Structure 1
Amino acid sequence: MLRKLTLRRCVGIEPGAKCMTAKKTIAILGTRGIPACHGGFETFAERLALHLNEQGWIVTVYCQGTKEMSKPVHDTWRGIRRITFPVSREGAAATLEFDWTCVRDVVKNPPGVALTLGYNTAIFCIWMRLCGVKNIINMDGLEWRRDKWRTHERAWLWLNERIGCWVGNHLIADHPAIADHLSTRVSRNKITTITYGADHVEKANRDKLADFSLAADKYAIFIGRPEPENSVMEVVQAFSRKRRDAKLVVLGNYEPNRRPYHREVMDAASDEVVFPGAIYDTDMIRALRYHARFYLHGHRVGGTNPSLVEAMGAGSAIIAHDNPFNRWVAGSGSRYFSSTNQCEDHIEELLKDDSAVAKMRSDSRERFASTFQWSGVLDEYETLLARYCVKAEEPMALTPEERL
């Protein structure tokens, strides 16, 4: 049975039927689906799927449905095949259910190559490996180090990181420090570093700022999940220590009545701090980034963070938490803090120093253009995926190191 599954490589071809054209096919797993309306992985999945489709690939993206759905839905979005599976549970249990359903479907209808985004349920990828499906895993950040996880959740993530390293045919790290970490688990030959990408924003609609009573260059912005490891409290406290005659816009889904940390952050904020909630409108986000005086980035755990790269793509001056991840991404032209006092010092200076802000914006644009534009990132992904993609008529030979 496993031999039959390995040989049947044409999407949409019934067992026993002859495949007339050997096209490159890929299935993308590990996200909530496309079009993107949730986060970084969904945005990446959308961009990569559209890019590969333009290059002649047959692309399938798995999408997470809802409890109200009665059966799976197969449709097409901008040339991309979508398979939406309903879930009967909520929260983490729904993710487990959805990921396992996707893996079983991939094994039944194997593509030339699978791309799994994230390792949180890498234990399910064992089944793909046993069934001969070539699976490339983007190992994301050091998820198990996040403060929000309880002991058993941290153990689950740590174990799945190990499993992902072992069972993936190849691993993608989005940051050199992540590649260094993964190399303590597996051979360097099994790891490729490809960063996250973003759009170059050259202009944005200033009229969008009126929705939040903001004036261009008279506010700072913070974008990130309201979790302790993202330094939200430190940033809000630093900004709120005195009157600034400017505003701090903090984007994220805050639920003060349900989450004690969210309530503590909002209680620590002055009346110059604005909490507009989570915003997914692309034009609005671009306008808020582009017209901000500077961008505050507090993430402490992970590799190349999408929100930081997107801020650089908008030419933002960056004040970031001081750690190896942020320093490599944002470069020497940004400012860094490791305490609330340091963060406040940078805020105070940049609200007054126009020339410093202008220089930092220029440095961000230069660093972004050199490393993080979508065109280069997507080309690197396609090259790697094509190396592992098994066509119906042309199985690819891999080196002994790549088989590990």
Structure 2
Amino acid sequence: MKFSQKKKSSIAIIGSRGIPNNYGGFECFTENISQKLSKKDYEVYVSCEQPEGVDPPEKFEDVNLFYFPIKHPKSNVLGMIYEIMYDAYSLLYSSLKADQIYMLGYSAAFFFFIPKLFGKTLYLNPDGFEWKRNKFSGMIKLMLKIQERMGVFWADKIIADSMGIKEYYDNKYSKSSKFIAYGVSEIPEIGWNDEYLPGSLRGVIEDSNYWLLVARLEPENNVHTIVESYIKSKTKKPLVIVGNFLNSDYQETINNMIEGMDETKNIVFTGGIYDQKSLNMLRQNCFGYIHGHSVGGTNPSLIEAMVMENILLTHRNQFNEEVCQDSALYFKDSDELATKMDDVDNHPDQYQIMKKLALSRVKQEYSWEKIVAAYDEVFGNEYNNQNRQHSPNKFPLSKGYKSDYNSKNNSK
């Protein structure tokens, strides 16, 4: 007779927009870690927003999906309220379904008490320093700082995806956190094929003859700095920008910068590309990869660019320097980036060694095997500890054992 193997524990991963990934970093991480934990015999649940125009699936691979019953509004203000409601709903649903809850972000920190009502363990990945993002007003930044403090108060453990964030939480809140980075897998080589390109790029770019940026198009990712640098530089290679604008005012700012640009230059905005084969081909075959993220922790798009063996031009900050170390060129402003783009453009052979350094670094520190083992240790140990605490004592008192009660009474 064949018995099915008992699952180790049930885990809900909430706070992203859901899987499969059609948005950004948290979703990329959620898609990967949920499937890999499922293969480690965890029962995994993932929260999702309602998709547009399709019947939502109940599973993605072996991962259980659940949905917030309200669709995301178009308004930015209503969108912020929606996200808090979505996370609060996910906290309640997860508390009813799962043994452990992994919360990505703290926008719903005022509801982090919910898992405690059900005796569930809550882990918090706070992402980066959300209150540093320029897109937020002073009032919202203050609210984010309060939410950060509330999140730390209610969470059983903080999981930081960079050492810089870990050190911040350890020092500011005197609460020990656990460092677990994002993971990445090596991607088989994809030969150049125009058929994999989105329509906006066909006939516009050639193999190994374009600069590439993949990001959400917002100020903290320095899209304006990169566009300004490209315009200032002498390079004639096209600049391909993959991602979606989140704010119409910022989009207008970028469009105004491009007006009057030298006709020999070309900036192509593709929008989001979620076909992995197409995106990976672009990453593998670009001349140089530019990364402008400045306030998040470890960014998935950066380590994905590293594993593709790219020449990296990266914004200088503690997070990017922690990840890349000596495998990237760094810039602080548009003048510095323009100069370095010209240097790489004119002397590419001098920078080929950096591709190997990037691949070596990411394989050593950011392999999914290493990352999943770290999560397995955290979730597995916590679940085993819970079981020991809640299990009745199976062994009666015998010679050599004393109960606390008798010991206290005999000492009176």
TM-score w.r.t. the length of structure 1 is 0.86
**1:79 alignment partner, one of 56, 62, 70:** 62
The 5 A counterparts of 1:4-403 are 23-65=8-50, 75-87=58-70, 90=73, 91-107=79-95, 109-188=96-175, 190-207=176-193, 208-209=196-197, 211=199, 212=201, 213-241=204-232, 243-254=234-245, 259-269=248-258, 270=261, 271-389=265-383, 394-395=388-389
Q: 1:240 to 1:289 in 2, by over 3 A?
A: same
Q: 1:378 to 1:396 in 2, by over 3 A?
A: farther
Aligned residue type for 2:372 = L
Aligned residue type for 1:129 = K
In the alignment, the residues of structure 2 paired with residue 348 and residue 325 of structure 1 have an alpha-carbon distance, to the nearest angstrom, of 25
Highest RCO, 1 vs 2 (Cα 8 Å, sep ≥ 6):
1
Q: Which residue does 1:17 correspond to in 2?
A: none
Preserved contact between residue 84 and residue 107 of structure 2 (Cα < 8 Å): no
Question: Is the partner of 1:332 in helix, strand or coil?
Answer: helix
Aligned residue type for 1:201 = I
CA RMSD across the alignment:
2.4
Preserved contact between residue 216 and residue 291 of structure 1 (Cα < 8 Å): yes
Preserved contact between residue 162 and residue 185 of structure 1 (Cα < 8 Å): no
The alpha-carbon deviation at position 192 of structure 1 amounts to 0.5
Q: 1:283 to 1:21 in 2, by over 3 A?
A: closer
Question: Is the partner of 1:301 in helix, strand or coil?
Answer: coil
Q: 1:22 to 1:228 in 2, by over 3 A?
A: closer
Question: Is the partner of 2:369 in helix, strand or coil?
Answer: helix
The alpha-carbon deviation at position 185 of structure 1 amounts to 3.4
Aligned residue type for 2:61 = R
Q: 1:332 to 1:64 in 2, by over 3 A?
A: same
The alpha-carbon deviation at position 76 of structure 1 amounts to 2.5
The alpha-carbon deviation at position 355 of structure 1 amounts to 1.6
Question: Is the partner of 1:365 in helix, strand or coil?
Answer: helix
Preserved contact between residue 213 and residue 240 of structure 2 (Cα < 8 Å): yes
Using the TM superposition, name which of 301-310 and 259-268 deviates more: 259-268
Query: Mind listing any 5+ residue stretches in structure 1 that lack a counterpart?
Result: 1-19, 398-404
In the alignment, the residues of structure 1 paired with residue 390 and residue 339 of structure 2 have an alpha-carbon distance, to the nearest angstrom, of 56
Preserved contact between residue 312 and residue 368 of structure 1 (Cα < 8 Å): yes
Aligned residue type for 1:86 = P
Preserved contact between residue 74 and residue 84 of structure 1 (Cα < 8 Å): no
Preserved contact between residue 23 and residue 391 of structure 1 (Cα < 8 Å): no
Preserved contact between residue 226 and residue 334 of structure 2 (Cα < 8 Å): yes
Aligned residue type for 2:152 = C
Q: 1:37 to 1:154 in 2, by over 3 A?
A: same
The alpha-carbon deviation at position 347 of structure 1 amounts to 0.2
In the alignment, the residues of structure 1 paired with residue 274 and residue 327 of structure 2 have an alpha-carbon distance, to the nearest angstrom, of 28
Q: 1:390 to 1:31 in 2, by over 3 A?
A: farther
Question: Is the partner of 1:26 in helix, strand or coil?
Answer: strand
Aligned residue type for 1:100 = A
In the alignment, the residues of structure 2 paired with residue 115 and residue 237 of structure 1 have an alpha-carbon distance, to the nearest angstrom, of 39
Preserved contact between residue 135 and residue 168 of structure 1 (Cα < 8 Å): yes
Deviations 1:11-39 (A, max 9, x none): xxxxxxxxx96741111111121222211
Query: Mind listing any 5+ residue stretches in structure 2 that lack a counterpart?
Result: 74-78, 392-412
Deviations 1:294-320 (A, max 9, x none): 111111112111111111111111111
Q: 1:171 to 1:81 in 2, by over 3 A?
A: same
In the alignment, the residues of structure 2 paired with residue 41 and residue 341 of structure 1 have an alpha-carbon distance, to the nearest angstrom, of 31
Deviations 1:313-368 (A, max 9, x none): 11111111111111111111211111211101110010121222311111111111
Using the TM superposition, name which of 240-249 and 117-126 deviates more: 240-249
The alpha-carbon deviation at position 150 of structure 1 amounts to 1.2
Aligned residue type for 1:84 = Y
In the alignment, the residues of structure 2 paired with residue 316 and residue 279 of structure 1 have an alpha-carbon distance, to the nearest angstrom, of 19
The alpha-carbon deviation at position 201 of structure 1 amounts to 2.6
TM-score w.r.t. the length of structure 2 is 0.84
In the alignment, the residues of structure 2 paired with residue 373 and residue 390 of structure 1 have an alpha-carbon distance, to the nearest angstrom, of 26
The alpha-carbon deviation at position 245 of structure 1 amounts to 2.5
Q: Over alpha carbons, which structure has the higher Rg?
A: 2
Q: 1:219 to 1:374 in 2, by over 3 A?
A: same
Aligned residue type for 2:236 = D
Preserved contact between residue 22 and residue 393 of structure 1 (Cα < 8 Å): no
In the alignment, the residues of structure 1 paired with residue 297 and residue 284 of structure 2 have an alpha-carbon distance, to the nearest angstrom, of 23
